[in-house]
Chains A and B, each alone.
Chain A
Amino acid sequence: MATSIERAVGAADPMVPAPYVVERFIRETQDTFSLELEPFDPSAELRFLPGQFNMLYVFGVGEVPISISGDAAEPKKLVHTTREVGVVTRAMRGLKPGHTIGVRGPFGTSWPMEAAKGHDVVLVAGGIGLAPLRPALYWILRNRDDYGKVVLLYGTRSPEDILYSKELAKWRSQFDLEVYITVDRATSEWRGNVGVVTKLVGRAPFDPADTVAMVCGPEIMMRFAVEELARRGVPTSDIYVSMERNMKCGIGLCGHCQLRGEFVCKDGPVYRFDAIEPLFMEREL
Protein backbone atom coordinates (compact mmCIF):
# COMPACT_ATOMS: atom_id res chain seq x y z
CA MET A 1 0.00 0.00 0.00
CA ALA A 2 2.58 2.47 -1.00
CA THR A 3 3.58 4.32 -4.08
CA SER A 4 7.24 3.91 -4.69
CA ILE A 5 9.50 6.12 -6.72
CA GLU A 6 13.11 5.78 -7.67
CA ARG A 7 14.50 9.21 -7.12
CA ALA A 8 17.16 10.29 -9.52
CA VAL A 9 20.16 11.86 -7.84
CA GLY A 10 19.58 15.53 -7.18
CA ALA A 11 16.27 15.58 -8.99
CA ALA A 12 14.29 18.68 -8.15
CA ASP A 13 14.68 18.28 -4.40
CA PRO A 14 16.11 21.53 -3.04
CA MET A 15 17.64 19.63 -0.13
CA VAL A 16 19.85 17.49 -2.38
CA PRO A 17 23.28 18.98 -3.11
CA ALA A 18 25.01 19.01 -6.48
CA PRO A 19 28.55 17.63 -6.52
CA TYR A 20 31.35 20.12 -7.22
CA VAL A 21 35.09 19.63 -7.48
CA VAL A 22 37.57 21.70 -5.52
CA GLU A 23 39.76 23.34 -8.18
CA ARG A 24 41.88 25.52 -5.92
CA PHE A 25 42.43 26.01 -2.24
CA ILE A 26 43.65 29.51 -1.40
CA ARG A 27 44.97 30.35 2.02
CA GLU A 28 43.87 33.96 2.57
CA THR A 29 44.92 34.80 6.13
CA GLN A 30 45.86 32.87 9.22
CA ASP A 31 42.27 31.73 9.82
CA THR A 32 40.53 32.29 6.49
CA PHE A 33 40.69 30.53 3.16
CA SER A 34 38.92 30.42 -0.18
CA LEU A 35 37.71 27.48 -2.21
CA GLU A 36 37.31 27.63 -5.97
CA LEU A 37 34.76 25.10 -7.13
CA GLU A 38 33.63 23.69 -10.45
CA PRO A 39 30.55 21.59 -11.06
CA PHE A 40 30.91 17.88 -11.90
CA ASP A 41 28.50 18.48 -14.69
CA PRO A 42 30.39 20.82 -17.06
CA SER A 43 27.14 22.14 -18.54
CA ALA A 44 25.97 23.29 -15.13
CA GLU A 45 26.65 26.78 -13.96
CA LEU A 46 25.48 28.45 -10.85
CA ARG A 47 24.14 31.90 -11.70
CA PHE A 48 24.09 34.09 -8.65
CA LEU A 49 23.78 37.70 -7.63
CA PRO A 50 26.20 39.52 -5.29
CA GLY A 51 25.23 38.89 -1.67
CA GLN A 52 23.70 35.44 -2.16
CA PHE A 53 24.96 32.32 -0.42
CA ASN A 54 25.27 28.58 -0.94
CA MET A 55 24.96 25.66 1.42
CA LEU A 56 28.26 23.77 1.26
CA TYR A 57 28.44 20.14 2.33
CA VAL A 58 31.55 18.25 3.39
CA PHE A 59 31.21 14.49 3.10
CA GLY A 60 30.00 12.97 6.35
CA VAL A 61 30.67 16.13 8.37
CA GLY A 62 27.86 18.54 7.63
CA GLU A 63 26.60 21.52 5.73
CA VAL A 64 26.99 25.25 6.35
CA PRO A 65 25.80 28.44 4.67
CA ILE A 66 28.69 30.35 3.07
CA SER A 67 28.30 33.53 1.08
CA ILE A 68 29.55 33.52 -2.48
CA SER A 69 32.62 35.73 -2.80
CA GLY A 70 33.51 35.30 -6.46
CA ASP A 71 32.59 37.15 -9.62
CA ALA A 72 28.97 36.79 -10.74
CA ALA A 73 30.13 37.30 -14.32
CA GLU A 74 32.10 34.06 -14.06
CA PRO A 75 29.51 31.59 -12.82
CA LYS A 76 31.62 28.59 -13.79
CA LYS A 77 34.19 29.49 -11.17
CA LEU A 78 32.39 29.37 -7.86
CA VAL A 79 34.38 31.01 -5.06
CA HIS A 80 33.67 30.98 -1.34
CA THR A 81 35.79 32.53 1.37
CA THR A 82 35.29 31.42 4.92
CA ARG A 83 36.80 31.47 8.36
CA GLU A 84 37.50 28.39 10.40
CA VAL A 85 34.94 28.62 13.14
CA GLY A 86 33.28 25.23 13.44
CA VAL A 87 33.46 21.56 12.64
CA VAL A 88 32.42 21.92 9.00
CA THR A 89 34.63 24.88 8.13
CA ARG A 90 37.59 23.15 9.79
CA ALA A 91 36.91 20.09 7.65
CA MET A 92 36.77 22.37 4.61
CA ARG A 93 40.24 23.60 5.37
CA GLY A 94 41.41 20.02 4.83
CA LEU A 95 39.97 19.87 1.30
CA LYS A 96 42.39 19.70 -1.59
CA PRO A 97 42.06 20.09 -5.34
CA GLY A 98 40.16 17.09 -6.67
CA HIS A 99 38.02 16.64 -3.58
CA THR A 100 34.25 16.68 -3.92
CA ILE A 101 32.06 19.13 -2.09
CA GLY A 102 28.27 19.37 -2.15
CA VAL A 103 26.65 22.64 -3.21
CA ARG A 104 23.06 23.81 -2.86
CA GLY A 105 22.05 27.25 -3.94
CA PRO A 106 22.21 30.07 -4.64
CA PHE A 107 19.88 31.27 -1.92
CA GLY A 108 18.73 34.56 -0.48
CA THR A 109 18.48 38.17 -1.46
CA SER A 110 21.26 40.19 -3.08
CA TRP A 111 22.94 43.55 -2.73
CA PRO A 112 21.00 46.37 -4.43
CA MET A 113 23.21 46.59 -7.53
CA GLU A 114 20.32 47.97 -9.61
CA ALA A 115 19.02 50.41 -7.00
CA ALA A 116 22.55 51.74 -6.53
CA LYS A 117 22.93 52.67 -10.20
CA GLY A 118 23.60 56.35 -10.70
CA HIS A 119 24.55 56.88 -7.05
CA ASP A 120 27.63 56.91 -4.91
CA VAL A 121 28.27 53.51 -3.29
CA VAL A 122 29.78 53.01 0.12
CA LEU A 123 30.70 49.47 1.12
CA VAL A 124 31.39 49.00 4.81
CA ALA A 125 32.99 45.66 5.69
CA GLY A 126 34.09 44.22 8.99
CA GLY A 127 36.39 41.19 9.12
CA ILE A 128 35.17 38.26 7.02
CA GLY A 129 32.23 40.55 6.08
CA LEU A 130 34.35 41.62 3.13
CA ALA A 131 33.78 38.23 1.49
CA PRO A 132 30.03 38.69 0.76
CA LEU A 133 30.76 42.22 -0.47
CA ARG A 134 33.47 41.22 -2.94
CA PRO A 135 30.94 40.12 -5.61
CA ALA A 136 29.40 43.61 -5.33
CA LEU A 137 32.85 45.12 -5.92
CA TYR A 138 33.45 42.91 -8.97
CA TRP A 139 30.05 43.93 -10.26
CA ILE A 140 30.75 47.63 -9.78
CA LEU A 141 34.18 47.43 -11.38
CA ARG A 142 32.72 45.64 -14.41
CA ASN A 143 30.07 48.34 -14.70
CA ARG A 144 32.05 51.24 -13.30
CA ASP A 145 30.25 53.92 -15.34
CA ASP A 146 26.92 52.96 -13.78
CA TYR A 147 27.96 54.25 -10.38
CA GLY A 148 29.18 57.49 -8.84
CA LYS A 149 31.96 57.59 -6.30
CA VAL A 150 32.73 54.15 -4.91
CA VAL A 151 34.27 53.79 -1.48
CA LEU A 152 35.24 50.68 0.42
CA LEU A 153 35.63 51.07 4.17
CA TYR A 154 37.13 47.95 5.63
CA GLY A 155 37.96 47.23 9.22
CA THR A 156 39.68 44.13 10.44
CA ARG A 157 41.62 42.86 13.40
CA SER A 158 45.23 43.45 12.44
CA PRO A 159 47.27 44.11 9.28
CA GLU A 160 47.86 40.33 8.97
CA ASP A 161 44.09 39.75 8.86
CA ILE A 162 43.44 41.86 5.78
CA LEU A 163 41.56 39.76 3.24
CA TYR A 164 42.28 39.96 -0.48
CA SER A 165 45.10 42.43 0.22
CA LYS A 166 46.79 42.10 -3.17
CA GLU A 167 43.51 42.48 -4.97
CA LEU A 168 42.60 45.53 -2.91
CA ALA A 169 45.95 47.15 -3.70
CA LYS A 170 45.46 46.43 -7.40
CA TRP A 171 41.93 47.83 -7.46
CA ARG A 172 43.03 50.88 -5.58
CA SER A 173 45.73 51.64 -8.16
CA GLN A 174 43.95 50.55 -11.33
CA PHE A 175 40.35 51.58 -10.81
CA ASP A 176 38.44 54.56 -9.67
CA LEU A 177 37.85 53.12 -6.25
CA GLU A 178 38.64 54.58 -2.85
CA VAL A 179 39.78 51.98 -0.34
CA TYR A 180 40.10 52.85 3.33
CA ILE A 181 41.38 50.16 5.64
CA THR A 182 41.58 50.33 9.39
CA VAL A 183 42.73 47.75 11.90
CA ASP A 184 41.94 47.23 15.55
CA ARG A 185 45.55 46.84 16.53
CA ALA A 186 48.92 47.27 14.89
CA THR A 187 52.59 47.73 15.56
CA SER A 188 54.57 50.67 14.26
CA GLU A 189 55.40 48.91 10.97
CA TRP A 190 51.79 49.43 9.95
CA ARG A 191 51.46 52.57 7.90
CA GLY A 192 47.67 52.67 7.81
CA ASN A 193 44.76 53.59 10.06
CA VAL A 194 44.22 52.16 13.50
CA GLY A 195 40.70 52.39 14.92
CA VAL A 196 37.20 51.15 14.32
CA VAL A 197 35.70 50.99 10.85
CA THR A 198 32.81 53.22 11.91
CA LYS A 199 35.26 56.10 12.24
CA LEU A 200 36.06 55.84 8.53
CA VAL A 201 32.45 56.67 7.71
CA GLY A 202 33.03 60.24 8.79
CA ARG A 203 36.21 60.57 6.72
CA ALA A 204 35.24 59.01 3.42
CA PRO A 205 34.36 61.15 0.41
CA PHE A 206 30.78 60.51 -0.71
CA ASP A 207 27.57 62.44 -0.97
CA PRO A 208 25.36 61.22 1.90
CA ALA A 209 22.19 62.38 0.18
CA ASP A 210 23.01 60.40 -2.96
CA THR A 211 24.58 57.23 -1.63
CA VAL A 212 23.65 53.58 -1.36
CA ALA A 213 25.49 51.91 1.51
CA MET A 214 26.10 48.16 1.78
CA VAL A 215 27.21 46.98 5.20
CA CYS A 216 28.45 43.53 6.16
CA GLY A 217 30.12 42.34 9.31
CA PRO A 218 29.38 41.32 12.87
CA GLU A 219 25.95 42.56 13.97
CA ILE A 220 27.31 45.03 16.53
CA MET A 221 29.68 46.48 13.97
CA MET A 222 26.79 46.88 11.52
CA ARG A 223 24.70 48.60 14.17
CA PHE A 224 27.36 51.22 14.83
CA ALA A 225 28.19 51.57 11.13
CA VAL A 226 24.53 52.27 10.34
CA GLU A 227 24.44 54.86 13.14
CA GLU A 228 27.48 56.61 11.68
CA LEU A 229 26.06 56.50 8.16
CA ALA A 230 22.78 57.94 9.43
CA ARG A 231 24.65 60.61 11.39
CA ARG A 232 26.44 61.54 8.21
CA GLY A 233 23.05 61.94 6.54
CA VAL A 234 22.49 58.69 4.63
CA PRO A 235 18.77 57.78 4.91
CA THR A 236 18.25 54.33 6.46
CA SER A 237 16.24 53.44 3.36
CA ASP A 238 19.51 53.66 1.40
CA ILE A 239 21.45 51.46 3.80
CA TYR A 240 21.57 47.69 3.29
CA VAL A 241 22.88 45.12 5.75
CA SER A 242 23.55 41.38 5.51
CA MET A 243 22.27 39.35 8.45
CA GLU A 244 23.60 36.13 9.90
CA ARG A 245 21.42 33.48 11.53
CA ASN A 246 21.55 29.72 11.93
CA MET A 247 20.53 28.05 8.66
CA LYS A 248 19.91 24.40 8.03
CA CYS A 249 17.95 24.42 4.78
CA GLY A 250 18.42 27.74 3.00
CA ILE A 251 14.86 27.63 1.67
CA GLY A 252 12.70 28.81 4.57
CA LEU A 253 11.54 25.37 5.61
CA CYS A 254 13.65 24.45 8.65
CA GLY A 255 12.71 27.48 10.75
CA HIS A 256 16.15 28.06 12.28
CA CYS A 257 16.97 31.42 10.75
CA GLN A 258 13.83 33.21 11.91
CA LEU A 259 14.10 36.79 13.03
CA ARG A 260 10.56 37.38 14.18
CA GLY A 261 8.60 37.00 10.90
CA GLU A 262 11.68 36.98 8.69
CA PHE A 263 13.25 33.86 7.31
CA VAL A 264 16.73 35.32 6.97
CA CYS A 265 17.68 32.61 4.44
CA LYS A 266 15.01 33.58 1.93
CA ASP A 267 13.77 37.04 2.95
CA GLY A 268 17.41 38.01 3.59
CA PRO A 269 20.31 37.81 4.19
CA VAL A 270 20.48 41.26 2.57
CA TYR A 271 17.92 43.67 3.99
CA ARG A 272 17.19 47.30 3.47
CA PHE A 273 17.91 48.59 6.94
CA ASP A 274 14.65 50.45 7.51
CA ALA A 275 12.77 47.20 6.88
CA ILE A 276 14.34 45.45 9.86
CA GLU A 277 15.30 48.41 12.02
CA PRO A 278 12.74 47.60 14.77
CA LEU A 279 14.07 44.03 14.94
CA PHE A 280 17.68 45.13 15.14
CA MET A 281 17.68 46.54 18.64
CA GLU A 282 15.42 43.95 20.29
CA ARG A 283 17.48 41.51 22.31
CA GLU A 284 17.53 37.80 21.51
CA LEU A 285 14.85 38.08 18.89
Chain B
Amino acid sequence: MTDLYPIIRSQEFFKEFSEEDVHEVVGCATNIVLHQGQYVFREGEPANHFYLIRHGRVSLELFAPGRGPVIVETVEEGEPLGWSWLIPPYKWHFAARCDTLLRAIALDGECLRRKCEENPKLGYHLMRKMAEMMESRVQASILRMLDLYGNKH
Protein backbone atom coordinates (compact mmCIF):
# COMPACT_ATOMS: atom_id res chain seq x y z
CA MET B 1 0.00 0.00 0.00
CA THR B 2 2.95 2.32 0.49
CA ASP B 3 2.90 3.23 -3.22
CA LEU B 4 -0.28 5.33 -2.64
CA TYR B 5 1.43 7.60 -0.13
CA PRO B 6 2.87 10.11 -2.63
CA ILE B 7 -0.44 10.28 -4.49
CA ILE B 8 -2.44 11.02 -1.36
CA ARG B 9 0.20 13.34 -0.01
CA SER B 10 -0.09 15.44 -3.17
CA GLN B 11 -3.88 15.80 -2.91
CA GLU B 12 -5.08 19.32 -2.03
CA PHE B 13 -7.45 17.80 0.52
CA PHE B 14 -4.62 16.32 2.59
CA LYS B 15 -2.16 19.20 2.15
CA GLU B 16 -2.33 20.31 5.78
CA PHE B 17 -2.19 16.80 7.27
CA SER B 18 0.87 15.57 9.15
CA GLU B 19 2.99 12.80 7.70
CA GLU B 20 1.76 10.29 10.29
CA ASP B 21 -1.88 11.14 9.63
CA VAL B 22 -1.42 10.68 5.88
CA HIS B 23 0.19 7.31 6.54
CA GLU B 24 -2.83 6.35 8.61
CA VAL B 25 -5.15 7.37 5.77
CA VAL B 26 -3.11 5.44 3.20
CA GLY B 27 -4.06 2.29 5.08
CA CYS B 28 -7.70 2.85 4.04
CA ALA B 29 -7.01 3.73 0.41
CA THR B 30 -7.34 1.97 -2.91
CA ASN B 31 -6.80 3.32 -6.38
CA ILE B 32 -9.77 3.05 -8.75
CA VAL B 33 -10.34 3.60 -12.46
CA LEU B 34 -13.84 3.83 -13.94
CA HIS B 35 -14.98 4.37 -17.51
CA GLN B 36 -17.16 7.13 -18.87
CA GLY B 37 -20.81 6.40 -18.11
CA GLN B 38 -20.06 4.05 -15.22
CA TYR B 39 -21.51 4.88 -11.85
CA VAL B 40 -19.22 5.47 -8.88
CA PHE B 41 -22.28 4.90 -6.71
CA ARG B 42 -26.04 5.02 -7.03
CA GLU B 43 -28.67 6.50 -4.74
CA GLY B 44 -29.76 4.10 -1.98
CA GLU B 45 -26.60 2.03 -2.09
CA PRO B 46 -24.46 1.67 1.06
CA ALA B 47 -22.04 4.53 1.28
CA ASN B 48 -18.83 2.65 1.91
CA HIS B 49 -16.29 5.07 0.47
CA PHE B 50 -15.01 8.58 0.30
CA TYR B 51 -13.38 9.59 -3.00
CA LEU B 52 -10.70 12.00 -4.10
CA ILE B 53 -10.84 12.64 -7.82
CA ARG B 54 -7.42 12.57 -9.47
CA HIS B 55 -8.57 12.83 -13.04
CA GLY B 56 -11.90 13.30 -14.78
CA ARG B 57 -15.32 14.57 -13.85
CA VAL B 58 -18.32 13.11 -12.05
CA SER B 59 -21.95 14.27 -12.21
CA LEU B 60 -24.00 14.03 -9.07
CA GLU B 61 -27.46 13.08 -10.21
CA LEU B 62 -30.87 12.81 -8.73
CA PHE B 63 -33.47 10.86 -10.61
CA ALA B 64 -36.83 12.59 -10.72
CA PRO B 65 -39.72 10.54 -12.10
CA GLY B 66 -40.97 12.15 -15.28
CA ARG B 67 -37.91 14.42 -15.51
CA GLY B 68 -35.18 11.85 -15.71
CA PRO B 69 -31.78 12.39 -14.14
CA VAL B 70 -31.22 15.97 -12.98
CA ILE B 71 -27.61 16.98 -12.47
CA VAL B 72 -27.16 18.54 -9.07
CA GLU B 73 -23.49 19.34 -9.29
CA THR B 74 -20.36 18.31 -11.13
CA VAL B 75 -17.21 17.39 -9.23
CA GLU B 76 -13.78 17.56 -10.80
CA GLU B 77 -10.14 16.69 -10.52
CA GLY B 78 -8.68 17.68 -7.16
CA GLU B 79 -12.04 17.70 -5.40
CA PRO B 80 -13.45 15.32 -2.77
CA LEU B 81 -16.62 13.37 -3.44
CA GLY B 82 -19.16 12.05 -0.93
CA TRP B 83 -19.92 12.54 2.73
CA SER B 84 -22.60 9.89 3.31
CA TRP B 85 -19.89 7.44 4.52
CA LEU B 86 -19.59 9.70 7.57
CA ILE B 87 -23.20 9.95 8.66
CA PRO B 88 -25.58 7.10 9.52
CA PRO B 89 -27.31 5.30 7.91
CA TYR B 90 -24.32 5.40 5.48
CA LYS B 91 -26.39 5.38 2.31
CA TRP B 92 -25.86 7.50 -0.84
CA HIS B 93 -28.50 10.14 -1.47
CA PHE B 94 -27.34 10.89 -4.98
CA ALA B 95 -25.88 8.92 -7.82
CA ALA B 96 -22.41 9.73 -9.14
CA ARG B 97 -21.88 9.07 -12.82
CA CYS B 98 -18.56 9.40 -14.62
CA ASP B 99 -18.67 12.03 -17.35
CA THR B 100 -15.20 10.99 -18.44
CA LEU B 101 -12.67 8.34 -17.68
CA LEU B 102 -12.22 8.60 -13.94
CA ARG B 103 -9.14 8.00 -11.80
CA ALA B 104 -9.73 8.38 -8.12
CA ILE B 105 -8.56 7.35 -4.67
CA ALA B 106 -11.27 5.48 -2.78
CA LEU B 107 -10.97 5.60 0.99
CA ASP B 108 -12.84 2.94 2.93
CA GLY B 109 -15.46 4.67 5.10
CA GLU B 110 -15.50 2.18 7.92
CA CYS B 111 -11.70 2.18 8.05
CA LEU B 112 -11.61 5.99 8.15
CA ARG B 113 -14.24 6.16 10.88
CA ARG B 114 -12.34 3.65 12.99
CA LYS B 115 -9.08 5.56 12.62
CA CYS B 116 -10.80 8.79 13.55
CA GLU B 117 -12.23 7.21 16.71
CA GLU B 118 -8.80 5.91 17.68
CA ASN B 119 -6.98 9.10 16.77
CA PRO B 120 -9.14 12.16 17.59
CA LYS B 121 -6.51 14.54 16.25
CA LEU B 122 -6.69 12.89 12.83
CA GLY B 123 -10.47 12.83 13.30
CA TYR B 124 -10.56 16.57 13.93
CA HIS B 125 -8.43 17.37 10.87
CA LEU B 126 -10.51 15.15 8.65
CA MET B 127 -13.74 16.54 10.04
CA ARG B 128 -12.55 20.10 9.45
CA LYS B 129 -11.75 19.33 5.81
CA MET B 130 -15.14 17.66 5.41
CA ALA B 131 -16.81 20.71 6.97
CA GLU B 132 -14.99 22.95 4.48
CA MET B 133 -16.30 20.89 1.61
CA MET B 134 -19.81 20.91 3.06
CA GLU B 135 -19.66 24.67 3.64
CA SER B 136 -18.73 25.38 0.06
CA ARG B 137 -21.37 22.95 -1.22
CA VAL B 138 -24.05 24.58 0.97
CA GLN B 139 -22.98 28.07 -0.05
CA ALA B 140 -23.11 27.06 -3.69
CA SER B 141 -26.55 25.54 -3.18
CA ILE B 142 -27.82 28.74 -1.59
CA LEU B 143 -26.52 30.84 -4.46
CA ARG B 144 -28.22 28.55 -6.94
CA MET B 145 -31.40 28.47 -4.90
CA LEU B 146 -31.56 32.28 -5.24
CA ASP B 147 -31.85 31.75 -9.00
CA LEU B 148 -29.79 34.91 -9.51
CA TYR B 149 -29.87 34.87 -13.27
CA GLY B 150 -33.56 34.21 -13.63
CA ASN B 151 -36.45 36.63 -13.92
CA LYS B 152 -37.67 37.71 -10.55
CA HIS B 153 -41.26 37.92 -11.74
Contacts and interface: CB of A to CB of B under 8 A. Distances in A.
State yes or no: do A and B touch (Cβ within 8 Å).
yes
B139 interface: yes
A176 interface: no
Contacts of A198: 140, 143
B55 to A, nearest CB: 13
A220 B71 contact: no
A124 B91 CA distance: 37
A196 B144 contact: yes
A194 B73 contact: yes
Nearest to A127: B149
B149 A157 contact: yes
A265 interface: no
Q: Which of A84, A157, A188 has the most CB of B within 10 A?
A: A188
B72 interface: yes
Interface in A202-233: 203, 217-218, 220-221, 224
B148 A220 contact: yes
A58 B78 CA distance: 51
Contact of B59 (A84, A188, A203): A188
B148 A85 contact: no
B71 A224 contact: no
A184 interface: yes
A185 B149 contact: no
A120 B87 CA distance: 43
Interface in B34-72: 57, 59-61, 67-72
Nearest to A197: B143
Interface size class of B (residues with CB under 8 A): 20 to 34
A126 B144 CA distance: 12
Contacts of A185: 70-71, 144
Given A185-B144, A187-B68, A203-B76, A194 B149 contact: no
Report, as a range, how many residues of chain A touch the other chain.
20 to 34
B1 interface: no
A31 interface: yes
State the main secondary structure of chain A at its contact with B.
mixed
B contact patch SS: mixed
A218 B148 contact: yes
B21 interface: no
Contacts of B61: 188
B140 A199 contact: yes
A258 interface: no
Given A198-B140, A224-B143, A186 B71 contact: yes
A193 B74 contact: yes
A228 to B, nearest CB: 10
A106 interface: no
Given A188-B59, A191-B99, A127 B148 contact: yes
Among B144, B151, B152, the one with the most A-chain Cβ atoms within 10 Å of its Cβ is B144
Contacts of B57: 193
Contacts of B148: 126-127, 217-218, 220-221
Contact of B69 (A126, A187, A193): A187
A218 B57 CA distance: 28
Nearest to B100: A191
Interface of A: 31, 83-85, 126-128, 155-157, 161, 182, 184-188, 190-196, 198-199, 203, 217-218, 220-221, 224
23 contacts: A31-B151, A85-B153, A126-B148, A127-B148, A157-B147, A157-B149, A182-B74, A184-B144, A185-B144, A186-B71, A187-B70, A187-B71, A188-B59, A188-B69, A191-B99, A194-B71, A194-B74, A195-B74, A196-B140, A203-B76, A203-B78, A218-B149, A220-B146
Ranked 9 nearest A-B pairs via Cβ: A127-B149, A218-B148, A188-B69, A194-B71, A196-B140, A184-B144, A157-B149, A194-B74, A186-B71
Given A84-B151, A161-B149, A188-B68, 8 more contacts: A126-B149, A127-B149, A128-B149, A182-B74, A184-B149, A187-B70, A192-B74, A194-B73
